[in-house]
């Protein structure tokens, strides 16, 4: 029997049809992901949600331009739009969203915003106007074959920043532990890492018909990360959701007898204590205090107050070594809130920061707060009425 021979022209037509179909599907999925992330950003406004929305929009526009490129051969406009979305905006803003999602340090977030702004505006302008060389075909064109040195260096810098932001995000989540919400956070970051790698590979290598297939994977991974991040978190102390999506229900939570909050470590204890009674006297502990000043976004006062009231109630019930925890409005500054806390000692402060309700409160602040200032205090002297603590922290 003779083998079946396919004419090279027929084979080329089949490959082109497959490439067009995959590119069209990836662009369609890109616009669907953009719509889904828009809904997520409206429901839970925050920098991370907006960053992922920009990434999805950039890649959707770039892939839409690529549909015309694979149909009629790429030209300067379609080439520029493809790589602005796939090589620049997609990787950079997916990674920045991951950083904003995972890292809680105000100083870290502020620094990342400066770098992201610089490595967005300058490369965007250069990629839009810089000279393009070489001939195009109907396959996804690698960026390095047509742009000069300066655009390549700027995009490399943006992608390098994306890698740094992703690593820092993973480290921040890993340091908080992987139980409870941490497991979801690692899954979100894993999907974002995959999406970023796929987008960078397509931008650098093109990969012909495989390019749109990998971009379909990148868009799907970003969409999955956004959907996973939007899922309601569950409080390990309660059968019901802690902080529901609409902030409607802030009744008292029933304590789950199988779960315990972070408990105070036993200090100055050894076998001597058990055999002979009291241990040698330990030096007196030193009270610690923290004042946190929040600057709110317009119209977010009510949502923030509901969150703060809920976490105050949880601290009162579950943290005996947090001696005082109070939230205040500022009559002369409606967009400011002040939260101050007094802890029995440094260990009590560390245990407070590890409580699930405190971590959830901190995570949800992104949609309400635009700036945070923290002042740490060590008590040097004090005088207070005996009933002050009972009034502010009812047990």
Same-domain pairing of 225 and 352: no
Same-domain pairing of 71 and 209: yes
Please determine, for residue 2, whether its predicted confidence score (pLDDT) is greater than 90: no
Same-domain pairing of 215 and 362: no
Contact 230, 44 (CB under 8 A): yes
Range of the domain at 219: 8-230
Same-domain pairing of 115 and 199: yes
pLDDT tens by residue, 176-191: 764 445 578 889 999 9
Phi, psi of 213 (to 5 degrees): -65, -45
Which residues, including other chains, have CB under 8 Å from residue 73's CB and lie 6 or more apart? 136, 137, 138
Same-domain pairing of 174 and 92: yes
- Run of H or E residues at 300: none
CA 382 to chain centre: 40
Same-domain pairing of 213 and 291: no
Phi, psi of 238 (to 5 degrees): -140, 155
Does 268 reside within a domain?
no
- Tokens encoding 322: 């947090």
Does 255 reside within a domain?
no
In this prediction the pTM is 0.59
- Calpha distance 93→125 (Å, rounded): 17
Give the domain-ending residue among 230, 265, 297: 230
- Calpha distance 241→247 (Å, rounded): 11
CATH number of the domain residue 145 falls in: 1.20.1070
Give the total number of structural domains in the chain: 2
Q: What is the pLDDT of residue 392?
A: 57
Does 263 reside within a domain?
no
Same-domain pairing of 226 and 309: no
Please determine, for residue 348, whether its predicted confidence score (pLDDT) is greater than 90: no
> In the structure, how many helices (H) and strands (E) does the chain have?
13, 4
pLDDT cut 90: percent of the chain above it: 34
Q: Which band of pLDDT confidence, cut at 50, 70 and 90, is reported for residue 229? A: confident
CATH number of the domain residue 346 falls in: 3.30.70.100
Q: What is the pLDDT of residue 332?
A: 86
Please determine, for residue 137, whether its predicted confidence score (pLDDT) is greater than 70: yes
Contact 72, 94 (CB under 8 A): no
Same-domain pairing of 314 and 388: yes
- Run of H or E residues at 270: none
Please determine, for residue 268, whether its predicted confidence score (pLDDT) is greater than 60: no
Does 18 reside within a domain?
yes
Q: What is the pLDDT of residue 8?
A: 58
Does 248 reside within a domain?
no
Does 318 reside within a domain?
yes
Does 133 reside within a domain?
yes
Q: What is the pLDDT of residue 389?
A: 56
Q: Which band of pLDDT confidence, cut at 50, 70 and 90, is reported for residue 248? A: very low
Does 59 reside within a domain?
yes
- Calpha distance 202→143 (Å, rounded): 9
């Amino acid at each position: 029997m003779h083998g079946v021979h396919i004419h090279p022209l027929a084979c080329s037509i089949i490959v082109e049809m497959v490439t067009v179909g995959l590119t069209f599907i990836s662009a369609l999925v890109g616009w669907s992901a953009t719509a889904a992330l828009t809904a997520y950003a409206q429901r839970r406004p925050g920098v991370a949600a907006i960053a992922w929305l920009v990434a999805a929009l950039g890649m959707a526009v770039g892939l839409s331009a690529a549909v015309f490129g694979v149909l009629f051969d790429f030209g300067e406009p379609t080439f520029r739009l493809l790589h602005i979305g796939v090589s620049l905006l997609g990787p950079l803003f997916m990674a920045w969203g991951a950083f904003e999602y995972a890292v809680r340090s105000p100083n870290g977030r502020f620094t990342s915003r400066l770098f992201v702004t610089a490595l967005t505006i300058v490369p965007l302008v250069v990629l839009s106007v810089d000279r393009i060389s070489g001939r195009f075909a109907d396959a996804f064109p690698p960026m390095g074959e047509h742009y000069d040195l300066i655009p390549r260096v700027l995009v490399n810098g943006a992608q390098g920043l994306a890698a740094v932001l992703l690593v820092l995000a993973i480290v921040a989540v890993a340091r908080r532990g992987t139980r409870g919400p941490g497991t979801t956070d690692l899954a979100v970051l894993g999907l974002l890492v995959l999406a970023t790698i796929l987008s960078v590979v397509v931008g650098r290598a093109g990969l012909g018909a495989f390019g749109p297939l990998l971009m379909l994977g990148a868009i799907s991974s970003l969409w999955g990360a956004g959907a996973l991040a939007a899922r309601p978190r569950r409080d390990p102390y309660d059968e019901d959701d802690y902080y529901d999506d609409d902030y409607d229900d802030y009744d008292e939570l029933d304590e789950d007898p199988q779960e315990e909050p972070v408990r105070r470590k036993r200090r100055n204890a050894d076998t001597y204590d058990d055999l002979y009674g009291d241990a040698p006297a330990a030096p007196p502990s030193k009270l610690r205090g923290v004042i946190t000043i929040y600057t709110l976004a317009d119209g977010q006062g009510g949502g923030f107050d509901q969150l703060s009231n809920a976490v105050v109630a949880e601290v009162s019930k579950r943290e005996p070594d947090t001696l005082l925890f109070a939230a205040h409005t500022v009559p002369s500054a409606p967009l400011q809130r002040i939260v101050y806390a007094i802890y029995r000692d440094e260990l009590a402060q560390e245990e407070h920061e590890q409580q699930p309700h405190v971590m959830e409160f901190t995570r949800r602040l992104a949609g309400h707060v635009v700036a945070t200032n923290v002042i740490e205090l060590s008590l040097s002297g004090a005088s207070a009425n005996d009933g002050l603590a009972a009034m502010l922290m009812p047990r």
